[in-house]
Amino acid sequence: SIMPASLSAISNGARHGILFKGGAHLENLSNLKAIAFDKTGTLTRGKPVVTDFLTSEDEADTLQVVASIENQSNHPLAQAIVKHARSEGIQLTQPDSLEDISGWGVKAVMDGSEWKIGKADFMGTAASNFMDGRYETLASEGKTTVFVERDGVIIALIALKDVVRKETVDALKLLADEGVETIMLTGDNEKTARAIAQESGVSSFIAECLPETKVDELKLLKQDFGTVAMVGDGINDAPALATANVGIAMGEGTDVALETADVVLMKNDLTRIAEAIKLSKRMKRIVQ
């Protein structure tokens, strides 16, 4: 049952850009010990830009095929690669077949070859050795790296940089002040994850998470901490949002994330989470 104190707290939250789908969620926030954050689109703006395109083949030809394949995927990295190709005046064509493998990359047949575009572990060969291990430097700069394999041979490495949201650093500091542990979950590699974790100020991070393992990580966090929230924006965050004690969606997130979440940050403003926690602690004092 919703008590008057929580009703007024909910409307107070709404005025401050936080939507609660019920009083129980607000109460849970007062006991919160840890918050898990998705990286891309949550701690970062989720609009990556291609910064480096390294290839052993003809650059324009390679980019033409890669962008034509990625044009069939709606992953933010794919969209960034397409945008980059268009800005270079490249005309896109249709691949013969395509398979989008969530959390790994895409596979396609085009121009009589088999292509794989995605993370290092998705490639059939030791991708990390490409061009004397250039990916290491790129990753340590916080860039996401994407490899391109043609008929079993790595022929390109693409680096993309996403920026940490301007509110992220403040938001995480405010949460630390409330005694809340912050953990970043990402499908990205260890090096890139470490750089973004340092830039944003999360207390810890878990890299190379597959969409399905985010749920397992949340279950473990609940065992370790007790009451845990999850903040995310994507379709693949929905199962983790549902597993958390409090699921928090970014207002500009996908419909599935908004539907699954218990709380919505209407203006994507992460600093509101700490305010909501304060609000819930105040409410608890009034009720008791």
**Choice between 119 and 272, CB closer to ligand ADP:** 119
Q: Taking CB within 5 to 8 Å according to partner kind, which of Mg ion, ligand ADP, none is near residue 239?
A: none
The catalytic residue among 38, 237, 262, 269 is 38
Helix 59-70 to helix 76-87 angle (10° resolution) is 140
100 burial class (0-12, 13-18, 19+ CB within 10 angstroms)? Answer: middle
**Choice between 109 and 256, CB closer to Mg ion:** 256
The least distance separating ligand ADP from the CB of residue 73, rounded to whole angstroms, comes to 4
Q: Which residue is nearest to ligand ADP (CB)?
A: 187
Q: Taking CB within 5 to 8 Å according to partner kind, which of Mg ion, ligand ADP, none is near residue 275?
A: none
CB 36 within 8 A of CB 230: yes
Q: How far is CA 128 from the centre of its chain?
A: 23
- What does the radius of gyration of the chain's CA atoms come to, in whole angstroms? 21
The least distance separating Mg ion from the CB of residue 254, rounded to whole angstroms, comes to 9
**Choice between 50 and 229, CB closer to ligand ADP:** 50
Q: Taking CB within 5 to 8 Å according to partner kind, which of ligand ADP, Mg ion, none is near residue 65?
A: none
200 contacts Mg ion (rule: CB under 5 A): no
Number of residues that bind Mg ion (CB under 5 A): 5
Q: Taking CB within 5 to 8 Å according to partner kind, which of Mg ion, ligand ADP, none is near residue 233?
A: Mg ion
The least distance separating Mg ion from the CB of residue 93, rounded to whole angstroms, comes to 29
Q: Taking CB within 5 to 8 Å according to partner kind, which of Mg ion, ligand ADP, none is near residue 103?
A: ligand ADP
The least distance separating ligand ADP from the CB of residue 206, rounded to whole angstroms, comes to 10
The least distance separating ligand ADP from the CB of residue 33, rounded to whole angstroms, comes to 23
Binding positions for Mg ion, 14-43, rule CB under 5 A = 38, 40-41
**Choice between 42 and 280, CB closer to ligand ADP:** 42
**Which residues are within 8 A (CB) of 229 and not within 5 positions of it... i.e. 6 or more apart?**
28, 29, 32, 34, 35, 36, 244, 245, 246, 247, 248, 273
**Choice between 77 and 154, CB closer to ligand ADP:** 77
Residue 38 annotated to the active site: yes
Binding positions for Mg ion, 213-252, rule CB under 5 A = 233-234
**Cα gap 216→157, rounded to integer Å:** 31
Half-sphere exposure of 213 (CA within 13 A, CB side): 11
**Which residues are within 8 A (CB) of 101 and not within 5 positions of it... i.e. 6 or more apart?**
107, 118, 122
For residue 136 the two structure tokens come to: 């290491």
**Cα gap 17→144, rounded to integer Å:** 31
Q: Taking CB within 5 to 8 Å according to partner kind, which of Mg ion, ligand ADP, none is near residue 67?
A: none
For residue 65, the SS3 value is helix
CB 151 within 8 A of CB 256: no
Length of the chain: 288
Q: Which amino acid is at 41?
A: G
Q: Which residues bind ligand ADP (CB under 6 A)?
A: 39-40, 70, 73, 75, 77-78, 103-106, 117-119, 144, 146, 186-188
**Which residues are within 8 A (CB) of 78 and not within 5 positions of it... i.e. 6 or more apart?**
70, 71, 72, 106
- Give me the residues that bind Mg ion (CB under 5 A), please: 38, 40-41, 233-234
Q: Which residues are marked as active site?
A: 38
